[in-house]
Structure formats: structure tokens, C-alpha cells
Amino acid sequence: MSTVTLFRLSGLAVIIGMTVFGLGSFLTPRDTGVTGALDPFVPPDDLAKLFGSLIFLIGLPGLYAFQASRAGWLGLAGFLLTFFGLAILEVSTEVVFAFIAPVLAAHAETRFLLRDQNALGQGFAIYFFPSIFGTLLGFISFGIATFRAHVYPRWTGVLIAIGEVLTIVMDPLKSVPSGPFRLDRLGILATALGFAWCGWRLLRQATAPRASTAVPTTQ
């Protein structure tokens, strides 16, 4: 299989993965704890984020490699933090939230475990919470590196960098009535759009035998 084909498949994986992940995050129910675990919409939503993240992580190495020579050490740091952060935050925990949480919520003896993440034990907290900050730093670093590298459109780097930050800042909006959509997750949707557009550019522009010689895109 040629390098060009691998890059194009990476771009396709990023598009599909981030589209599924972004929509799944945007549609995440507001309720948490026992109420959220008993929501019939939660398991398919968690699975959407799980498989979206998996597909995205398959394409992420190619997305990074295409701009690696221009992205520098910041791009490498962003790639590593994003990859391992999402692998922990979404891939390894969404299975727990999709299948184990409903079982815990169904029994009065175990419902206390769903009050907050700390109730699952210090070990889980040590495992889970650093991944949130790792993913945040990874998206910011990758976005800045993408903006500076100018291999993908610069505005995609801006969306990737500020998306997670906006999610934290907009957290109070989760209580605002907005139908099935989560207004506080608009930041995640912005990050997903940024990555997906980079994947589209990679799918369309991976024509050179060596990606490091790719010409920067025009705005």
C-alpha cells in the first residue's frame, strides 16, 4: 500500500471519527449520576463517542505525520497528549459508562458509586482526571502547531486549540433549555469540525510521495 493511500485513509478516518464523536458529544444527555445512567439514550451515545474516538485515533498518526516536519516539537507533544488523552478519556471509560453504569444504577446497593467519579475510588480518579487535562493540553498544542505549520488551513488550528477551552468556559450553559442539544458542548463541536476539515484536506491533498514537502494550503 502506498504512502499516499495511507494518508488518504488517515484523512477519511479522521473525518468519520470526529463527525461521530462531535455529534455524540453534542447530544450527550444533561443528567448525570443515577438518572443519567438509567437514561436509555446514554448507552448508544457513549458507544458513539467510543467508536468515534477509536476511528479518529486510527487516522490521527497520519494527520500528524503529514505536517510533522513543519509542526516541530509542539506538534509532536500535541499529537502524543491528544492520542493518549483520548485513549484514556474516551476509549477506555466509555465502555464503563455505557454498560457498567446502568447495572450499578439498577441496584440500590451500588447506586452510591455513581454520585461522582471519586466514588469509584482514588485509583480511578488518578487514572481518569489527568486524561482530561492531557487531552485539553493536547488539543491546544496540536491546534497551535497546526496554525504555525500552515499545512492545513490556519483556521482549523484555531478551532482545535480553543474548542476544549470553550467547553470549560461554557459549562454553565448545560442548564439552558435547548432541546436534545448541549449548548455547553459547542466547543467540542468546534474542535471536531477543525479536525474533520484537516482530515478532508489530507484526503484531497495527499498526492505527493513525501508529505513533508506538501505545499501549505491557501486560506
Q: How far apart are the first and last CA of the chain?
A: 31
Question: ∠ CA(57), CA(60), CA(62), 5° rounding?
Answer: 135
Q: Which one is predicted more confidently, 100 or 152?
A: 152
Residues 6+ apart with CB under 8 A from 203: 8, 11, 12, 15
Question: What mean pLDDT do residues 27-53 have?
Answer: 74
Residue whose C-alpha is closest to residue 203's, from 21, 83, 2, 63: 63
Quick one: DSSP state of residue 97?
A: I
The residue extents of the domains of the chain are: 8-213
Where does the pLDDT of residue 32 fall: very low under 50, low under 70, confident under 90, or very high at 90 and above?
low
Question: For position 35, what pLDDT does the model report?
Answer: 65
CA distances from 142 to 22, 58, 68, 87, 154 (A): 17, 16, 11, 16, 12
pLDDT tens column, 108-137: 777 666 665 555 666 777 777 788 888 899
Cβ atoms of 112 and 37 closer than 8 Å: no
Grid cell digits, residue 199: 482530515
Where does the pLDDT of residue 92 fall: very low under 50, low under 70, confident under 90, or very high at 90 and above?
confident
Residues 6+ apart with CB under 8 A from 144: 74, 78, 157, 161
pLDDT tens column, 70-88: 999 999 999 999 999 888 8
Where does the pLDDT of residue 207 fall: very low under 50, low under 70, confident under 90, or very high at 90 and above?
low
pLDDT more than 70, % of the chain:
78
Question: For position 209, what pLDDT does the model report?
Answer: 43
Computed over its alpha carbons, how large is the radius of gyration of the chain? 18
CA distance 138 to 1: 30
pTM of the entire structure?
A: 0.81
Question: ∠ CA(123), CA(161), CA(91), 5° rounding?
Answer: 35
Whole-number mean pLDDT of the chain? 82
